[in-house]
Amino acid sequence: MFKHTAAICTLALTLISSPVGVADEPAKSTCETRSAVLDFLSTKYSEAPIAMGMSKDGGVVEILTSGPGSTFTIIVTTPNGLTCMVAAGDSWENLAPRIQARQI
């Protein structure tokens, strides 16, 4: 599990320091407490969680956005409580839910 967490943090540092990352932010550390990450994204980008799910390794993956056509960030909170920003960008678009045919 540590290897996976280290890989996520390494990926986060790469993404945040690349053009796809959070704009105008130095790549100091992209992992912090969940409340600190949410406060930062809310204050700086007006982003709020819109979706979440559980990864196979027990991490909680969340997507935050400030609305259609705006910024978005994907964060992962590890089972030990550390939250890392793993991707960010702009031009967010909501997709209409797909209607699945029911099996009878």
Would residue 82 count as lying in a domain?
A: yes
Checking if the pLDDT of 104 tops 70, the result is: no
Would residue 98 count as lying in a domain?
A: no
Would residue 100 count as lying in a domain?
A: no
SS3 10: helix
Whether the model clears a pTM of 0.85, i.e. scores above it, the answer is: no
Beta carbons within 10 angstroms of residue 53's beta carbon: 9
Mean pLDDT of 25-51: 87
Checking if the pLDDT of 15 tops 60, the result is: no
Would residue 12 count as lying in a domain?
A: yes
Would residue 57 count as lying in a domain?
A: yes
Would residue 97 count as lying in a domain?
A: no
Number of structural domains (the chain) is 1
Would residue 41 count as lying in a domain?
A: yes
pLDDT band at 29 (very low <50, low <70, confident <90, very high): low
Checking if the pLDDT of 17 tops 50, the result is: no
Q: In angstroms, rounded to a whole number, what is the distance separating the alpha carbons of residues 14 and 86?
A: 9
User: For the chain, how many residues are written?
Assistant: 104
Q: In angstroms, rounded to a whole number, what is the distance separating the alpha carbons of residues 57 and 54?
A: 8
Confidence (pLDDT) at 95: 86
Range of the domain at 74: 2-89
Would residue 47 count as lying in a domain?
A: yes
